[in-house]
């Protein structure tokens, strides 16, 4: 299991982790140095490159979606693990778990959501349209593999997308597990369409994203590894590998498109937890619910996970696990622990 968390020898630049970490000086200059072409090689890994591809979505939102999967080697018939990242995230955030699944010959599919990572942008981001595009993507890439079971894994905002997917398609797919990693609070009241002032602010940010870019670059990312996107995502501060993962996260953070963030907020759809509770607790449902949260997560605190767990009071098969001394990015902050939980609670 530890092999899936070892990053030495993985960077495409072929430099050692120590050499990479020591070449990027923290502070105001980090933002510029990590945008250079060399950084793209330092923070791209052999595993991701070997499993990377692009799928073309057609229809209302024609676009190219970056993917990472091992379906070319799959014969189908078993389980497929689908990973959905959060707001501003990328598929790389699941890298340790993807490698673990690959080593165990388990089929997986991860992707950059529209507007994030290396996927194309959309004109707008209605949440249910995004969810429907995920279903289309699975059908396109699995083709005739005909998987018997689907496991949904969402992180942060990706939990909302995973739940909406479940509610829309649980009759079309045999969904074995619904796994929520660091889920947001169950009801994000601030994003209600009735909050006219907030909606106006979001519309302004969506039309003029450069204004938010100024704040991000001058007042946040100029702090380097002390910026909010690192301090709030990580709790552990350990060895060279930990520092490399923080730089990797920072490299991805500086490429986040502000317009996409505002677009997803504008397209937000609340979840009817009563309906989810009823569907998951139905006698014909065999879906197991697992919620993982970090004890030190300040973005989506543990109490949000507890609230969701309590709202789904009638679900017969559910479990909640709090990971001690772990921040928001569970798979990057404590990959060994998360991989062990996957093996014990999901792959068994």
**Cα 83 to Cα 80: distance, rounded to the nearest angstrom:** 10
Please say whether the beta carbons of 246 and 238 come within 8 A. Answer: no
CB atoms within 10 A of CB 145: 14
Residue 178 lies in domain: 2-346
- What's the mean pLDDT in 28-48? 95
Strands 52-57 and 63-69: antiparallel
Point out the catalytic residue in the list 4, 107, 156, 260. 156
Give the pLDDT of residue 117. Answer: 97
Query: Residue 130: helix, strand or coil by DSSP?
Result: helix
Does the global pTM surpass 0.95? yes
- What's the mean pLDDT in 141-167? 95
CA atoms within 13 A on the CB side of 150: 23
Residue 255: band (very low, low, confident or very high) from pLDDT cuts 50, 70, 90: very high
Residue 326: band (very low, low, confident or very high) from pLDDT cuts 50, 70, 90: very high
Flag whether pLDDT at 18 surpasses 90: yes
- What's the mean pLDDT in 316-325? 96
**Cα 116 to Cα 258: distance, rounded to the nearest angstrom:** 10
Instruction: Please list the alpha-helical segments (H only) found in the chain.
Output: 17-23, 30-33, 37-42, 46-51, 95-103, 127-142, 157-169, 196-207, 209-215, 228-231, 240-253, 258-266, 273-281, 302-311, 330-333, 335-341
**Cα 175 to Cα 152: distance, rounded to the nearest angstrom:** 7
Give the pLDDT of residue 1. Answer: 53
Place of tokens 């930990």: 242
CATH number (domain holding residue 190): 3.40.50.1820
* 4 classed as catalytic: no
Q: How many residues does the chain have?
A: 348
Distances 59 to 41, 63, 307, 323 between C-alpha atoms, Å: 34, 9, 37, 41
Flag whether pLDDT at 83 surpasses 60: yes
CB atoms within 10 A of CB 284: 6
Flag whether pLDDT at 327 surpasses 60: yes
Q: 92-121: per-residue pLDDT in tens?
A: 999 999 999 999 999 999 999 999 999 999
Q: 209-243: per-residue pLDDT in tens?
A: 999 999 999 999 999 999 999 999 999 988 999 99
Flag whether pLDDT at 2 surpasses 80: no
Flag whether pLDDT at 21 surpasses 60: yes
Put the strands of the sheet holding 288-294 in their side by side order: 52-57, 63-69, 107-111, 79-84, 149-155, 175-181, 288-294, 318-323
Residue 184: band (very low, low, confident or very high) from pLDDT cuts 50, 70, 90: very high
Written as six digits, the tokens of 163 are 């739940």
**Domains of the chain: total:** 1
Distances 60 to 109, 197, 292 between C-alpha atoms, Å: 23, 29, 34
Please say whether the beta carbons of 132 and 158 come within 8 A. Answer: no
**Cα 14 to Cα 344: distance, rounded to the nearest angstrom:** 33
Burial label, 199 (beta-carbon count in 10 A; 0-12, 13-18, 19+): middle
Give the pLDDT of residue 142. Answer: 92
pLDDT exceeding 90 applies to what percent of the chain?
91
């Amino acid at each position: 299991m530890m092999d899936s968390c070892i990053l030495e020898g993985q960077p495409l630049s072929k430099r050692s982790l120590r050499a990479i970490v020591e070449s990027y000086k923290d502070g105001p200059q980090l933002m510029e140095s990590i945008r250079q072409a060399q950084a793209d090689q330092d923070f791209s890994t052999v595993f991701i490159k070997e499993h990377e591809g692009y799928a073309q979505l057609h229809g209302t939102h024609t676009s190219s979606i970056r993917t990472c999967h091992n379906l070319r080697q799959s014969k189908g018939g078993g389980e497929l693990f689908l990973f959905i990242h959060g707001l501003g995230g990328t598929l790389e955030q699941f890298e340790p778990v993807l490698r673990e699944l690959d080593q165990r010959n388990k089929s997986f599919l991860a992707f950059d959501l529209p507007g994030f990572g290396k996927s194309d942008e959309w004109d707008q981001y209605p949440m249910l349209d995004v969810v429907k595009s995920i279903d289309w993507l699975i059908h396109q890439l699995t083709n005739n593999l005909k998987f018997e079971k689907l496991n949904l894994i969402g992180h942060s905002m990706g939990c909302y997308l995973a739940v909406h997917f479940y509610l829309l398609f649980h009759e079309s797919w045999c969904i074995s597990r619904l796994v929520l990693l660091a889920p947001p609070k169950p009801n994000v009241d601030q994003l209600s369409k009735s909050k006219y002032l907030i909606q106006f602010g979001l519309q302004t940010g969506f039309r003029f994203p450069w204004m938010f870019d100024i704040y991000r670059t001058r007042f946040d990312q100029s702090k380097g590894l002390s910026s909010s996107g690192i301090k709030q995502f990580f709790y552990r501060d350990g060895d060279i590998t930990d520092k490399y993962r923080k730089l990797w996260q920072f490299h991805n953070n500086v490429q986040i498109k502000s317009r996409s963030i505002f677009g997803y907020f504008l397209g937000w759809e609340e979840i009817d937890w009563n309906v989810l509770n009823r569907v998951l607790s139905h006698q014909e449902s065999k879906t197991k619910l697992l919620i993982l949260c970090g004890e030190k997560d300040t973005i989506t605190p543990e109490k949000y996970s507890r609230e969701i767990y309590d709202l789904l009071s009638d679900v017969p098969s559910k479990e909640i696990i709090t990971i001690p001394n772990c921040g928001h990015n569970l798979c990057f902050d404590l990959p060994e622990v998360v991989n062990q939980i996957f093996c014990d609670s999901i792959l068994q």
